[in-house]
Structure 1
């Protein structure tokens, strides 16, 4: 038992060093903006940059729009497949895995070719249309994670019994989804939402090729034009991602410890 415990701690230490040593080095380098002393000048420069606030705000808005759109598409689909079309589950799962195989640059070039100003739907010819394409693209990238989060939540439920009980009380499909299914898979949806947020904040290809002022292209531009600010920006982006992961853990723990329905 002692040998196994020591081995576990050894593996943990190796993993800790592998993941956190580069981050510690990046953080230490970001503090060297002022010669001879450690300071937070690089962070101050980044946070006071109007372009940082503009791009981060834009990406947050796009992330929220993507989360809402993804939930509205994925939740009814996963519910209907589990309730009425269980034989199609392998097909749907395969389709949701395609964004992990198809490079984002292929998807965005397809958008540009299909929705350019000379096409039937010239979405790239306007700001709102381009933003709409950006939300669609982000939804595709987040589909594998959001679908699996919702599907995992549905696996813990007796969907058929809940649906039949709600129908017996006169509830329609919208009521069943909104007042029966969604509250029971809220934690799973929340986990998928935080993962989607983390993906959208750091995404580069869609925003760059669609020429939108997102946070991902700003980080790349900062990396090519500054010295210490890119390291500070990397630490900030990493902190945002880990904050999302922490919120997922808190939501899961709260769901486990919350009292069940009477």
Structure 2
């Protein structure tokens, strides 16, 4: 047992060094914009850039809409599959895994091919239509994570009993979903939402090929033309991702603490 513990500590230290050293190096480099001293000049340059605020704000708005659309699609689907179609669950799980297998560049070229200005539904011919395509693309990329988070939350519920009890009191399907199922899986939805937010903030391929002012293409543009600002952006993007992961942990712990009290 002692030997296993030592090897576990060594593996943990190796993992920390493997992930921490590049981050420390990136942070240290981002602080060297002023010769001879450490400074926050690169961060000031990035944060004062109007394009940074525009692209970051755009990605936040798209992330919010992606979370809403994903939740509206996934929660009823996962609930209905668990309640009425348990035999189709492997098929649904396979379908939700496809975005992990199909590269985003294939998805976006399919969008451009099907919805260009010469097609029956020319979504790429307008800003609103292109935004809708980008929203659908983001929802597709986040589908595996959102579905598994909600499905895991539904596993803790006796869906059939809750549904029968609600129907016996005269509740319809909309009421059951909105006032019974959603509140009980809200923590799971939030977990999927934070991962979705991180995906949207860092995504490059869809936004770049659809020519939308998102944060991912902006990071690539800065990386191609400047030296210290890309490192600052990398630190900011990584911090946002870890904040999202930390919020998932806090939400999970709060959920467990609340259930323990009950």
Using the size of structure 1 for normalisation, the TM-score is 0.98
In structure 1, what is the equivalent of residue 4 of structure 2? 4
Within 5 Å, give how 1:56-75 maps onto structure 2: 56-75=56-75
CA distance in 1, matches of 2:184, 2:260: 10
In structure 2, what is the equivalent of residue 219 of structure 1? 219
1:5 is displaced (CA, Å) by 2.4
In structure 2, what is the equivalent of residue 228 of structure 1? 228
Root mean square deviation, CA, Å: 1.1
Within 5 Å, give how 1:1-262 maps onto structure 2: 1-259=1-259
Structure 1 portions without partners, runs of 5+: none
Q: Which has the larger displacement, 114-123 or 74-83?
A: 114-123
CA distance in 1, matches of 2:259, 2:237: 35
1:260 is displaced (CA, Å) by 6.9
CA distance in 2, matches of 1:31, 1:110: 42
CA distance in 1, matches of 2:141, 2:103: 10
Structure 2 portions without partners, runs of 5+: none
Distance 1:85 1:261, change over 3 A: farther
1:20-45 per-position Cα deviation (integer Å, ceiling 9, x unaligned):
11000000000110000011100110
CA distance in 2, matches of 1:100, 1:257: 33
1:3 is displaced (CA, Å) by 2.7
1:258 is displaced (CA, Å) by 1.2
CA distance in 2, matches of 1:62, 1:178: 23
CA distance in 1, matches of 2:64, 2:2: 48
1:52 is displaced (CA, Å) by 0.3
1:2 is displaced (CA, Å) by 3.1
Partner secondary structure for residue 6 of structure 1? helix
Runs of 4+ in 1 over 4 A off after TM superposition: 259-262
Using the size of structure 2 for normalisation, the TM-score is 0.98
Distance 1:115 1:165, change over 3 A: same
CA distance in 1, matches of 2:101, 2:4: 38
CA distance in 1, matches of 2:261, 2:228: 52
Q: How many residues align?
A: 262
